[in-house]
């Protein structure tokens, strides 16, 4: 019998299994996996819907076990937070992502990298400083790093969180609200945060099948983003019909299997060219 990690909807289209009784899930395991270099980053392109140019790529972490099993992030990010190993893992993710991004260009333009921030990282008083150190070490222009925040993962009431976000924004790092529309008090937060990008959650895009479908919530988000001068990334675009609907209504960017699944470095070889 095996414990099954369902990889459904997660980009590698396969089911991975772990033998029963294997203690995949503790903090010491994560630390050892970091030492043994078992974590890898996959990158998924985000395209400019008007031009088809790859504008950025999102870094998505995977844990490749010695036997080749792939553990999805949903299975270990929370664990890393609970066991106090998230800051180490996050440092590795940031360092790897910003170093990779220095070589990315598409259609002669630099491609930015988007990195997910966990709640534990955002609460840590040293987070912004560490982010900026990684950016400086890689000599990456700060605008080429985007930090993705999930609303439900952080509290703006926390002084440390506010200080981190102000420090990052002051330095020119861009901020994105991830899974937009699924959290609460979104509008209040938008008003307080110096956000550059809204990522519309896949759950709003998936039901989109018809070119004339009303989709009032998506329409309202696009209008609001336009009024606020924010870029919008529609997540989980899987069909040309979805892309057309969004493009015709002024959505600036899209991400999803239609353009490319998360893939190991170099990202989305078909569309991203490494520069010399």
Binding site for ligand C2E (CB under 6 A): 9-11, 44, 59-61, 72-74, 77, 93, 116, 118, 178-179, 202, 236, 238, 255-257, 262
Residues 153-172 that bind Ca ion (CB under 5 A): none
Is 253 or 276 the residue whose CB approaches ligand C2E more closely? 253
Q: Report in angstroms how near the CB of residue 194 gets to Ca ion at its nearest.
A: 18
Is 132 or 263 the residue whose CB approaches ligand C2E more closely? 263
Alpha-carbon dihedral sign for residues 68, 72, 73, 78: negative
Peptide bond into 7 cis (omega under 30): no
Q: What is the distance between the alpha carbons of residues 83 and 98, in angstroms, rounded to a whole number?
A: 25
Q: What is the distance between the alpha carbons of residues 218 and 242, in angstroms, rounded to a whole number?
A: 12
Which residues make Cβ contacts (< 8 Å) with residue 223, sequence separation at least 6? none
Assess 178 for contact with Ca ion (CB under 5 A): yes
Q: Report in angstroms how near the CB of residue 108 gets to ligand C2E at its nearest.
A: 26
Assess 148 for contact with Ca ion (CB under 5 A): yes
Residue nearest to ligand C2E (CB): 256
Is 152 or 275 the residue whose CB approaches ligand C2E more closely? 152
Q: What is the DSSP string of 190-207?
A: HHHS---EEEE-HHHHTT
Burial class (CB in 10 A: 0-12, 13-18, 19+), 15: exposed
Is 21 or 34 the residue whose CB approaches ligand C2E more closely? 34
**Contact positions vs Ca ion (CB under 5 A):** 116, 148, 178-179, 235
């Amino acid at each position: 019998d095996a414990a099954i990690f369902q990889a459904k909807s997660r980009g590698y289209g396969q089911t991975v299994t772990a033998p029963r009784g294997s203690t995949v899930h503790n903090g010491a395991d994560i630390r050892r996996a970091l030492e043994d270099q078992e974590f890898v980053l996959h990158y998924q392109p985000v395209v400019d819907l008007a031009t088809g140019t790859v504008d950025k790529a999102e870094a998505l972490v995977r844990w490749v076990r010695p036997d080749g099993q792939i553990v999805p992030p949903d299975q270990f990010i929370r664990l890393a937070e609970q066991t106090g190993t998230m800051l180490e893992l996050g440092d590795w993710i940031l360092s790897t992502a910003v170093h990779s991004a220095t070589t990315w260009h598409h259609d002669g333009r630099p491609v930015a990298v988007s990195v997910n921030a966990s709640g534990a990282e955002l609460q840590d008083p040293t987070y912004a400083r560490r982010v900026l150190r990684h950016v400086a070490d890689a000599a990456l222009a700060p605008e080429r790093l985007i930090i993705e925040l999930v609303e439900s993962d952080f509290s703006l009431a926390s002084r440390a969180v506010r200080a981190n976000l102000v420090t990052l924004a002051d330095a020119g790092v861009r901020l994105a609200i991830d899974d937009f529309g699924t959290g609460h008090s979104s509008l209040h937060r938008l008003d307080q945060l110096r956000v550059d990008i809204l990522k519309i959650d896949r759950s709003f895009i998936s039901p989109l099948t018809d070119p004339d479908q009303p989709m009032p919530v998506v329409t309202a988000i696009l209008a609001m983003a336009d009024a606020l001068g924010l870029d919008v990334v529609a997540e989980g675009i899987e069909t040309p019909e979805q892309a057309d609907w969004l493009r015709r209504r002024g959505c600036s960017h899209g991400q999803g299997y239609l353009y490319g699944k998360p893939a190991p470095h170099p990202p989305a070889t078909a569309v991203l060219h490494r520069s010399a």
